[in-house]
Amino acid sequence: MKIGIIIAVRMSSKRLPGKVLMKIKGKEIIKYIYERLETTNIKKENIVFATSDDASDDIIERFCNKNSYLCFRGSKNNVAERLLNCAKKFRFDAFIRICGDNVFTDREIINSMIEIFKKGNYEVVTNTFERTFPYGMSVEIINKNFYEKIFPQIIDSSDKEHVTKNIYENFKNFNIYNYKSENKKYKDIKLSLDTKKDFEIIKKIINSFKRDHREYKINDIIELYYSIKEDKISN
């Protein structure tokens, strides 16, 4: 089974335009994401950035070319179609959907979910339904043939943008495995990059790193998150 990682990115974020190429310590956000993902059990040649064919995203394609990252371009607003066509082009049997605002993806979470997906007969393995992991560490593994089959049902503009929304709304019809955490500290923590405030929190966490960012796992990052939060309260 050929499993790929598809990272959905674009420059035209409504709340924080251009966030994916914002820099922390001289490194772009999407470079942090890629470097963390390349430590997973997925081969580098199966990690792809999927951006739009809008002119505003030409800069993302140039960035990918400069760094020898794979880049696929498709519909700007129909993200569901973009991901499906990307998976088909690279002949993935399944793909791991990662959002471009997930700076701290965790390799152990991804690797564990890959093993579950391979051993089970699941159409989707997810850690977001129901959510027990922080926002910003979301992982969804989707069978490509299944996704292609249900794609005609993705009609609403909201479903096209939030590509698994329709699946979760009709979960009784599908074989979904929800990968849960027992750590109650994780729930409701927000580490996704959506706003300027999020960027400042993520920047403080990364600036706190004493080692290569890829060595920091979920518990390390959560501890730093709480220490930053407590420091802010005390000040």
Helix axes 29-37, 107-119, angle to 10 degrees: 50
CATH number reported for the structural domain that contains residue 110 in this entry: 3.90.550.10
Cis peptide before 130 (omega within 30 of 0): yes
Q: What pLDDT is stored for residue 235 in this prediction?
A: 40
Query: Comparing C-alpha atoms, which of 198, 124, 136 is closest to residue 163?
Result: 124
Q: pTM, whole model, 2 decimals?
A: 0.95
The sign of the CA dihedral 84, 89, 90, 91 is: positive
DSSP string, 75-142: -SS-HHHHHHHHHHHTT-SEEEEEETT-TT--HHHHHHHHHHHHHS--SEEESBTTB-S-BT---EEE
Q: What pLDDT is stored for residue 232 in this prediction?
A: 58
Q: pLDDT tens string for the chain (235 positions)?
A: 999 999 999 999 889 999 999 999 999 999 999 999 999 999 999 999 999 999 999 999 999 999 999 999 999 999 999 999 999 999 999 999 999 999 999 999 999 999 999 999 999 999 999 999 999 999 999 999 999 999 999 999 999 999 999 999 999 999 999 999 999 889 789 999 999 999 999 999 999 999 999 999 999 999 999 998 776 534 4
Residue 60 lies in domain: 3-234
Q: What pLDDT is stored for residue 233 in this prediction?
A: 38
If DSSP codes are grouped into helix, strand and coil, which group holds residue 33? helix
The Cα–Cα gap between 72 and 74 comes to: 7
Structural tokens at position 111: 């690797």
Query: Comparing C-alpha atoms, which of 186, 175, 184, 112 is closest to residue 149?
Result: 175
Domain total of the chain: 1
